[in-house]
Amino acid sequence: MSTIHSSILLRLCSSKNNTQQQMASKTSLAKERPLYPVGIPSKFSPEGALQRFPGITLICHLPIDSPLQPGLNAVHASLSAHPVISKLIHLLPKDSWHMTVLDGIHGDKATPAKRPPGFERQSLEEVTQDFSQKLRLLGLGLEQEGLAPPYKMKIRGFHPGAVGIGLEVEGATADEEKRIRLLRDRLADVLGLRRPNHDTYGLHITMAYLMRYIEGKDRVMLNALFEEHLPKVQLEFELGAVEFCTYENMYAFARLFYLGDNKS
């Protein structure tokens, strides 16, 4: 066999092997990950219908007069109007925007869910009552512990978008970041609710959930949208008192009381 023929044969074999590897990689990825992104079908149906997903949580709603609001409104408008991305996501109502301080518990008899260790047998109502008592007591000492609001935060950038679309949040200064992390520690310890990812949990504000995985050209378009809007949202802002909330779905979080305000 000539050198030229050998070279052509090698290139053909190499090309075939690369194609087979790419196909195997895609097949492996399809087997490893669920059919839909996290949150489907528990929070939204595959068609985008809002699902019942009851629970309790500790959050800080974004104030309506926050300097962050205009930038978020612009992002919301761009996502809503995008001819491709808008069909792959489910935008959340603007009045639901918040930063989760500590994830709570979700699921009840009608909508069962996997619970953290120690909470498997309690009803959602029982956990809510127990948490309420503990949080009211903790709230009394926040000022003395140096953990009272306001909390000065800043936007790091857009969340990568593996589960949803939103903004990554951190303390405006190193000291404020330590303070918000200490607050999370106190809440977790008081409630007995310290999850495995507690120390690495990324603070965020979610704007939308993914209905489908955003990949390839769609991801390029989404990243371009992020780049366009980043200067409008990459700023400092304040959050008020932590709210102990209950919810039936991802559209609204009803405040039971503010931590530190035992009059409510």
Residue 42 lies in a domain: no
Number of domains, the chain: 1
Query: Averaged over 220-229, what is the pLDDT?
Result: 97
Burial (CB count <10 Å: 0-12, 13-18, 19+), residue 52: exposed
Residue 5 lies in a domain: no
d(CA 35, CA 215): 14
Residue 121 lies in a domain: yes
Q: pLDDT tens-digit profile of 78-125?
A: 999 999 999 999 999 999 999 999 999 988 766 656 677 777 788 899
Query: Is residue 72 over pLDDT 50?
Result: yes
Residue 207 lies in a domain: yes
d(CA 38, CA 222): 19
Query: Is residue 58 over pLDDT 90?
Result: yes
Residue 27 lies in a domain: no
Residue 217 lies in a domain: yes
Residue 234 lies in a domain: yes
Burial (CB count <10 Å: 0-12, 13-18, 19+), residue 210: buried
Range of the domain at 149: 53-258
Specify the CATH number for the domain of residue 218: 3.90.1140.10
Q: What is the mean pLDDT of the chain?
A: 88
Residue 32 lies in a domain: no
d(CA 27, CA 19): 12
